[in-house]
Amino acid sequence: MAAAGVKSPESELIYVIKQATPEGQAILLILAIFSIFAWSVMASKAVQMRRAKRLNRLFESEYRIQKGPLAIYDRQVQVEDCPLFMVYREGCKEMDIRLKSPGGEARKQFISIKAMEHIKRTLEGAVASQSLRLESGLILLAIAVSGAPFLGLLGTVWGVMSTFGHIAQEGSATLSAMAPGVSAALVTTVAGLLVAIPSMFGYNYLVHNLRVLTVELDNFAQDLVSKLETEYLKDDE
């Protein structure tokens, strides 16, 4: 019978939320929206980066066995959502333009150092573009990590202020009068931490993967430049 009279954790939480001020409930709603966006970003970016890693491995294994750097490009292969392929395609497209003589379809045997510099700039731009594409959306996690605790703290301070103001007006400082308002104020801090902590772990994990992928893109671009120079560069032109 004693156990039957104890409220469940869920009913206590609902009671506390109902006791919150309108400002506190608005902050809880904002934090709930933050949480939905944060988890959506974490899930979508994790899937995107996992797919990018898998496609990068497949493309790189195919690239390593080719006899020439333009072999895959000449076959007009398309590997969408593969960052390495996107960088490769942009570099090879620029190389193909430089190799073709004006008004003709035949390729020249060599290109000049100046033309190779243009290809390097193209590859650098492609690497930056793919890095930005992988990074898009992470700003929402950064906002959740830094902003959610402060929103929760704002709700707590506002709720405590409102509670003490009400007690001062009533002239009664009993525990039963203070407890509902203080507990309702503290729940916003808890909500802010529940949003910020998972977002922090997810953000750090995704940033680590982003750095790994960016380094892979840089290394691949340098390797492709080296092969193109070996194959097509003629210093005395």
Q: Domain spans of the chain?
A: 22-232
Q: What is the residue-level pLDDT of the chain in tens, covering all 237 positions?
A: 344 445 555 577 676 777 777 888 888 899 999 999 999 999 999 999 999 999 999 999 999 998 888 889 888 888 888 999 999 999 999 998 888 866 656 778 888 888 889 999 999 999 999 999 999 989 999 999 999 999 999 888 888 887 777 777 766 666 666 776 777 788 888 899 999 999 999 999 999 999 999 999 999 999 999 999 888 877 554
Distance CA 181, CA 163 (A): 5
What values do phi and psi take at 107, rounded to 5?
A: -90, 145
Distance CA 3, CA 8 (A): 10
Q: Are 230 and 110 in contact (CB under 8 A)?
A: no
What's the pTM value of the predicted model, to 2 decimals? 0.81
CA 14 to chain centre: 33
Q: Are 166 and 195 in contact (CB under 8 A)?
A: no
The amino acid occupying position 148 is A
76: region left, alpha or beta (phi > 0 left; psi from -120 to 50 alpha): left
